[in-house]
Amino acid sequence: MTSKQRSYLKGLAMNMEPIFQIGKSGLTPEITEAVSQALEARELIKITLLKNCLDDGEPLAETLAQRTRSQLVQVIGRKIVLYRPAKDVAKRKIELPR
């Protein structure tokens, strides 16, 4: 992913509300599966780490991106933004700049 594409996705994510919260249980298989399904439906999602989550944001975000086969767009404080294009080209909602 180029810096121009990453910047574009950051701009889209700025106005988004987080759709997942990760708490004290950390990164469970259920959360990973739910995030993967949300990525397939939305392509770009924002996740919040709650204060009681003991894991660091950056390593947790990288692990989650790896498990869901998505791109880590950014980690700001306790917010994570992930992107994965839909598998079906006809269902893609986000067109990345070249």
User: In the chain, where are the structural domains located?
Assistant: 3-85
> Taking all residues of the chain, what is their mean pLDDT, rounded to a whole number?
89
pLDDT-derived band at 44, boundaries 50, 70, 90: very high
- CA 4 vs. chain centroid, Å, equals 18
pLDDT-derived band at 98, boundaries 50, 70, 90: confident
Residue 33 CB contacts under 8 Å (≥ 6 apart), including other chains: none
Find out whether 88 and 95 touch, Cβ atoms under 8 Å: no
What average pLDDT does the segment 4-19 reach?
91
3-85: CATH topology: Translation Initiation Factor IF3 (3.30.110)
Name the phi and psi angles at 53, rounded to 5. Answer: -80, 120
